[in-house]
Amino acid sequence: MEIVLILLVFIATLLWVLWQPFFKQETTQQDAALVASAQKSVREQANIELYHEHKAEIEKDFREGGIDEENYQYLLAELDSSLLQDVGTPQKATPTTRSSKPFGAVWPISLSVFIVVFSIALYLKQGTLDNLMATPVSNHNMQQSMSAEQQEQARQQQMLNYIKELQNHLDEKPDDGEAWYNLGQTYVGAGEFDQAITAFEQVIRIEGEHADLLGAIAQASYYKNNQQIDAQVQGLIDRALALDINDPSTNILLGMHNFIAQEYQQAIDYWQRVIDANKQGVNIAALQEAVVEAKARLAMPASNATTSGPELKVSVSLTDEIAQALANGEDKVVFVYALPTNGKRMPLAAVKLMASDLPTVVTLNNSQAMSPQNNLGSVEQVHIFAIVSKQGGAGIKPGDYKGETHHIAVDNPDTISLVVNDLVEELVE
C-alpha cells in the first residue's frame, strides 16, 4: 500500500509540473534571473568551502613540518590566486527570451498519458520501493566515486563544449558583444590567454572602450606574462583606472599581484576598494575572505619547523662571465629545485635566493616540497636545476640563466656542485 501511495504522489507531482505552464502561459525574465542568481550563489559558496579545505590542509602540513615557511607562503598565495581568479571579473548577465505563443493542450495530454502508463508499467515490473530507488542511488554513488582527475577532465570537457557553442553562435552573430565577452572569460579559465585577449578586443570593437574590458585584457595579459606586470599590462591598468577608479577587474588584479609579492596592506587596500563600491556581479564574499587572509598574514610569525628524510647539499655558483653580466644590473631572483626523473614538472624541493647570495651551499629537503606526497623521500633520483630568473617568476624562460645536473641519488652524502653556466635562448618541448 505504501508503494502505491508513493507512486501516486510521484505521478501527481509530475502532472502538476507538466500542466503548470499550460495554465500559467508565461515565464518571466525575473524567474530566470532568480535561478541564475541561486546557481551563482551555490558556485561561489562551493568555491569558498573548497578554499577553506585546501587552506586547512596546507596549514596542517606547515604545522607538522611538511613544508617550510617559503613554500607555505607560496602555496597559500597560489590558493588565494586560484580563488580570486574565480571572482576576478564580474560576469555579464545572460539575456533571456520570453515566448508569447500559447501552449497547446495536445502535448500535455499526450505526456500525461505516457507518464501514467509508464509509471504503472514500472511498478508492475519492479514491485518494490527498493527497486524503484536503486538506479538513482547507484548513479549518485557513481558520481561520488569519481576521482578528482576525472572530475577535472569532465570540467575541461564542459568548458570545451561551451567554447564550441559560443564559437558556433558567433559564426552566425559576429557582433554579439556579450557572447564575445563570455568566450573571453572562458578562454581565461582554460588558460588560452591569447584567444581571450582577442575575444575581449572584439567586445571593444562592438561596444567601445570601457574600464571592465580593459581590466579583463589586463588580467589575461598578466596571466600570459607569468603573473608579471610589464609595461603593456601597466598601460592597460592605467587606462582602465582612468575610466573607473573602482573597476573590479583591475583592482582585484592589483590586489592579487601585491598579495603574491607579500605586500599585504596594499592588497587589502585594492580589494577593499572593490568591496566598498559593491558593484553588481562581484563576489564580495570571496573578496572579504581574501582581505581576512591578508590581514592574518600581516601578523604571521616566522617558521622554525624541523624536517626529516633525505637531504641534498648543493653548492651553487655562477661562471665569471655570468657573474659579470649580472653585476651591471639589479639583483636577480635565483630558484634552486629538484625535479623527479619521470618527467613531471612539480618540484620535490625548492629554495629561493638572490644572485648576490652566490656562491653558496643550499640544502634541499622534504620541508621544501609542494606537497607531502611528492618530496625527495618519494623518489630515488632527481634532476637539480638552478635558474637565475630574468623577470623574477618561477619556471625556465628565454633570457634566464641556468645550470643543471641529472640523475642525482637522493641519498647522496656529498656536496653537489651546480654551476649556472648557460643562457636560455628558447624553450624546447
Domain ranges for the chain, please list them: 106-140, 161-298, 312-423
Q: Determine if the pTM surpasses 0.85.
A: no
Helix (H, G, I), strand (E, B) or coil at 362: strand
358 and 292 Cβ atoms separated by less than 8 Å: no
**Grid coordinates representing 354?**
638572490
CA distance 424 to 389: 10
CA distance 410 to 313: 10
Residue 127: predicted pLDDT: 47
Residue 154: predicted pLDDT: 74
3-state SS string for 304-343: CCCCCCCCEEEEEEECHHHHHHHHCCCCCEEEEEEEECCC
Q: What are phi and psi of 404, to 5 degrees?
A: -150, 150
Residue 385: predicted pLDDT: 93
CA distance 189 to 337: 28
Beta-carbon contacts of 145 under 8 Å, excluding residues fewer than 6 positions away, are none
CA distance 3 to 124: 11
Q: What are phi and psi of 310, to 5 degrees?
A: -65, 150
**Grid coordinates representing 62?**
606547515
273 and 284 Cβ atoms separated by less than 8 Å: no
> What is the tally of helices (H) and strands (E) in the chain?
14, 8
CA distance 135 to 130: 10
Q: Which fold has domain 161-298?
A: 1.25.40
Residue 9: predicted pLDDT: 63
Q: Which of 252, 175, 190, 239 is nearest to 213 (CA)?
A: 239
Q: Which of 48, 91, 35 is nearest to 279 (CA)?
A: 91
Which residue type occupies 371? S
Residue 162: predicted pLDDT: 87
Q: Give me the half-sphere count of Cα atoms (radius 13 Å) on the Cβ side of residue 306.
A: 1
CA distance 279 to 215: 15
Residue 92: predicted pLDDT: 53
CA distance 172 to 261: 44
CA distance 107 to 200: 43
Residue 336: predicted pLDDT: 92
- Ordered per-residue pLDDT tens for the chain, 429 residues: 555 556 566 666 666 665 556 555 545 445 545 545 555 565 666 667 667 777 777 777 777 776 677 667 777 776 666 666 655 555 554 444 444 445 455 555 665 666 666 666 555 554 444 443 444 444 444 444 555 556 667 777 788 888 889 889 989 999 999 999 999 888 887 788 899 999 999 999 999 999 999 999 998 998 888 778 889 999 999 999 999 999 998 999 998 888 877 788 998 999 999 999 988 888 888 888 888 888 887 775 544 344 578 999 999 999 999 998 888 888 888 989 999 998 777 788 888 888 888 999 999 998 777 666 778 988 999 999 999 988 776 667 788 899 999 999 999 999 999 999 999 886 544
Residue 200: predicted pLDDT: 93
CA distance 188 to 184: 6
32 and 96 Cβ atoms separated by less than 8 Å: yes
Residue 140: predicted pLDDT: 45
Please give the order of strands across the beta sheet that includes 360-364: 360-364, 312-318, 416-420
Residue 303: predicted pLDDT: 42
